Amino acid sequence: MAKATKKKKEKKADFTKAKLKLGKGPLKSANATSTAFTARAINVSHQSLGSSAKEGEATTNKRRQTLADLLASLTHHNASTRKDALLGLQELFTLHPHLAQSSLGPVISATIRLGDDTDFQVRRALQSFYRFHLARIDRTYLSPYHSMLNLHLSSVLSNIFPEIRLDGIRLVDIMLEHTPDMITAGWAKDGRVAVASDAQNDGLAAAQGQRYVDAYLSLLQISASSSMTMGVSGSGMALSLSPASKLVVFKGLATFLDCALHPRTSRDEAAVKRIPSWYLARAFSSPRAFAAFERSLARAKVVPRSYDLLASQATAAAQDLFGIDAEILALTEAGIARQQSEPAQLIASLQPTLVSAYLDYAPTAFMQAPGPVAPLMAAEMIHALAKIARDLYRSALVRLTDPATFDAERDSKDVARLRSGLIEMLQRMSGHLPIPDEASRSAHDGSKIRQFCQDTNLAYCELVSLASLALPSEVATHKTSKAMNSLAVMQQSVRDYLLTALQEADILGGDTPKLTSDSLLAILPIIWTILDAPTTPEVDRQLIFRALLDRFARAKATTEESSYLFQFISMLCRTSLWPSYRGRFDVQSEELQPDLHKWLCTLPRFIFQLGPSRKNATECVAAFLRDIAATQDCRPFGRAAMAEMSASLHPLFNGQHPKRGAVPGVFVQATPQTQQHAFGAVNFILTDGLLNAEQSSILQSAVMTARDLVDEL
């Protein structure tokens, strides 16, 4: 029965009509074809269809990525891809250096946008790329992109995330290393503020330097004094920077001030760089006398102080072209210079922060006391703080105490305020500085700590000398007397440190780094301050001067150190030729005469060792000898010393070799100006009868032979 019913249902199934249900719509037939489809978007970054270039001829890196591929990958949503694109660009420019110059614009435009990337690995890769890329690019080719770089850097430094702003500081440090003028544009150059006309001509570039300063201050939670801020107020943010982050900010600010207040010179200019002489100004009776002394220091081009370089060029051009009276120009220039300088404003804002940070990290750096950071980081922090204080006080005080523009009624209060703040800071620092031997020893990274300690000592010594130069000539008040007594103690410690450093004794341990040429150049104003200080005993003055003479005798003639030492010693000797000199150091003292006699007799050998390659140094020595020979008594050396030195001059004109015969001297291959100085010195020597008949004949014959050789050349 069940089987029959089943068979009946199967027969009716083919003819059964399906019932429609409400809301379901008509049923599809069994043989209906589906027309549904799906699609996805494919991003093709680059297609080389139709390109006739072969794959082997394409300019790619090792991963076969072209420049266009890498630039397109910089906007990828994946952070790892963006980082790999930066590394790929670095690899591409290493394999194909010519691309770095030709693709400069697109590369800078695409990469600088990653400065505020949210991924820290991308930001670190960007810093590595710019450190590599800018080293291969001439800075003159970067000038069209300064506005774009400044715009994006300003955006990075005003980011709401502190870690991005700190990486922005690191990126600014790289720019300062390769193109400092772009970053420091518009900020004070040794105390000069940007006047309104400059801001109108240069637009936002005139205030760009101040924007970066405000960014440093905002990270340190210091309210910016300028109205043109970065858009982030330090007082409105609750920032708590770690010691490592503070170190980044302080080091960045120190680098900025170093580039802004001490503009770099080219390699060619550095070869003829002359020592500064501004610190001698107060030793002369009048600014006019000091100006005449500066012109006599060398017959070659004298480089003025860095903050007066552009002003002096503009003054000379105006006098030549328009015949403007020099006194009117001086009054106008003084009026501009007397504005409240930006370094002085920055000192007022930074002083409490600098003192607080110094007191926090000095015990760890100098006494190896337990602290929040390692001794090396603490020493690096103290070094950065000392550099900031030195550059700011040097810029502000040197400008305000310049005798040429100093006005007692107008500037005394500013000088007194700066002097008071500097002495207060030095009193806090004098508890640890100069750093003794035990404080510089460390079981870990000892050599690095000792280097930082030496640089910090030199910065402290310069601060002491600046405070001494800023003191009034007469001590009138009890408060000033206390400052004088405090400075006297500091000067004693600085005097002992400098004397030991010049003698290269064991001042900071056995493996202490020696004074470099740059360090020696930096301490020359300090040495003069100690020599001219009223509290310095005469015995100590003579010891320091003898140490300079001994160091010159040990230095190699072809080094910058010997050039700096000669210029400084000869400058001190020239002071004896000027009746307007009022300094306390007397180079003509009887105790120093034997040492001066010995030093003068070494100058012919010094010129011979310089050779034809150091023509500018040879010119300085020849000009000095001519000026000494032109004086009546050959001051400050005397006729006997001058005669002994003159007897050794003939090989410098024409020498006699046992096998080669006559050999042209150094002066034959020198510049025409040097030859003029040398021939002039010999003329004075022969005219005054310093040599006997035989010596005069030998020297005169050598000079005549040298003149004939010069005429032939």
Q: What is the pLDDT of residues 424-448, one digit of tens each?
A: 888 888 777 776 554 444 434 456 7
Whether the pLDDT of residue 94 is over 70: the answer is yes
Tokens standing for residue 705 = 């032979």
Question: What is the mean predicted confidence (pLDDT) over 311-336?
Answer: 38
- With a pLDDT cut of 70, the percent of the chain lying above it is 74
* N residues, the chain: 713
Q: Is the peptide bond before 472 cis (omega within 30 degrees of 0)?
A: no
| CATH number (domain holding residue 173) | 1.25.10.10
> Has residue 679 been placed in a domain?
yes
Range name among 103-107, 153-157, 394-398, 406-410 with the lowest pLDDT average = 406-410
Please, what is the end-to-end C-alpha distance for the chain in angstroms? Answer: 139
Q: How far, in Å, CA of 325 to CA of 307, rounded?
A: 22
Range name among 200-209, 252-261, 271-280, 354-363 with the lowest pLDDT average = 200-209
| 41-45, 192-196, 493-497: range with highest mean pLDDT | 493-497
Please report which confidence band the pLDDT of residue 509 belongs to, taking 50, 70 and 90 as the band edges.
Answer: very low
Question: What is the mean predicted confidence (pLDDT) over 469-493?
Answer: 65
Q: How far, in Å, CA of 678 to CA of 680, rounded?
A: 5
Query: Maximum distance among all alpha carbons in the chain?
Result: 161
Which of 223 and 171 is assigned the larger pLDDT?
171
Whether the pLDDT of residue 272 is over 60: the answer is no
Q: How far, in Å, CA of 639 to CA of 632, rounded?
A: 9
Which of 267 and 548 is assigned the larger pLDDT?
548
Question: What is the mean predicted confidence (pLDDT) over 545-549?
Answer: 90
> Has residue 47 been placed in a domain?
no
Residue 293, Cβ density class (10 Å: 0-12 exposed, 13-18 middle, ≥19 buried): buried
Which of 175 and 22 is assigned the larger pLDDT?
175
> Has residue 696 been placed in a domain?
yes
Question: What is the mean predicted confidence (pLDDT) over 29-55?
Answer: 67
Q: Are the beta carbons of 674 and 622 closer than 8 angstroms?
A: yes
Q: Which residue has the tokens 């790929």?
A: 88
Range name among 82-91, 259-268, 298-307, 575-584 with the lowest pLDDT average = 298-307
Whether the pLDDT of residue 480 is over 70: the answer is no
Residue 124, Cβ density class (10 Å: 0-12 exposed, 13-18 middle, ≥19 buried): middle
Please report which confidence band the pLDDT of residue 399 belongs to, taking 50, 70 and 90 as the band edges.
Answer: low
> Has residue 89 been placed in a domain?
yes
Identify the CA nearest to 252 among candidates 338, 165, 321: 165
Q: Is the peptide bond before 144 cis (omega within 30 degrees of 0)?
A: no
Which of 513 and 12 is assigned the larger pLDDT?
12
At how many degrees (to 10) do helices 79-95 and 104-111 cross? Answer: 160
Whether the pLDDT of residue 124 is over 90: the answer is yes
Cβ contacts of 237 within 8 Å, gap of 6 or more: 218, 221
> Has residue 79 been placed in a domain?
yes
HSE (CB half, 13 Å, CA atoms) of 525?
Answer: 26
Which of 658 and 197 is assigned the larger pLDDT?
658
Q: Are the beta carbons of 457 and 434 closer than 8 angstroms?
A: yes
> Has residue 199 been placed in a domain?
no
* Alpha helix segments (H runs only) across 401-440: 408-429
Model pLDDT, residue 654: 78
Please report which confidence band the pLDDT of residue 630 belongs to, taking 50, 70 and 90 as the band edges.
Answer: confident
- Rg of the chain over Cα atoms, rounded to whole angstroms, equals 36
| 222 three-state secondary structure | coil
HSE (CB half, 13 Å, CA atoms) of 536?
Answer: 28
Partnered with residue 656 across adjacent β-strands are: 662
| 66-70, 205-209, 628-632: range with highest mean pLDDT | 66-70
Whether the pLDDT of residue 645 is over 50: the answer is yes
Which of 13 and 24 is assigned the larger pLDDT?
24
Q: How far, in Å, CA of 247 to CA of 170, rounded?
A: 11
Element spanning 138, H or E: none
Model pLDDT, residue 171: 92
Model pLDDT, residue 330: 41
Beta strands in 574-706 (DSSP E): 654-657, 661-664
What backbone phi and psi angles, to 5 degrees, belong to 185?
A: -60, 130
Whether the pLDDT of residue 622 is over 80: the answer is yes
Whether the pLDDT of residue 491 is over 60: the answer is yes
Q: How far, in Å, CA of 352 to CA of 374, rounded?
A: 23
> Has residue 162 been placed in a domain?
yes
- With a pLDDT cut of 90, the percent of the chain lying above it is 4
HSE (CB half, 13 Å, CA atoms) of 228?
Answer: 15
What backbone phi and psi angles, to 5 degrees, belong to 671?
A: -75, 155
**Alpha carbon distances (Å) from 154 to 119, 225, 247, 365:** 19, 18, 21, 34
> Has residue 122 been placed in a domain?
yes
Cβ contacts of 675 within 8 Å, gap of 6 or more: 667, 710
| 287-296, 371-380, 590-599: range with highest mean pLDDT | 590-599
CA 463 to chain centre: 18
Domain count, the chain: 2
What is the span of the domain harbouring residue 648?
A: 589-712
Model pLDDT, residue 504: 65
Model pLDDT, residue 473: 55
Q: Are the beta carbons of 165 and 159 closer than 8 angstroms?
A: yes
Q: How far, in Å, CA of 281 to CA of 580, rounded?
A: 11
Average pLDDT, rounded, for the chain: 75
Model pLDDT, residue 86: 92
Question: What is the mean predicted confidence (pLDDT) over 629-635?
Answer: 80
Cβ contacts of 679 within 8 Å, gap of 6 or more: 703, 707
Range name among 8-17, 25-34, 221-230 with the lowest pLDDT average = 221-230
Question: What is the mean predicted confidence (pLDDT) over 136-144?
Answer: 85
Element spanning 328, H or E: helix 326-337
Whether the pLDDT of residue 42 is over 70: the answer is yes
Model pLDDT, residue 342: 67
- Region of 203 on the Ramachandran plot (φ > 0 left; ψ -120 to 50 alpha; else beta): left
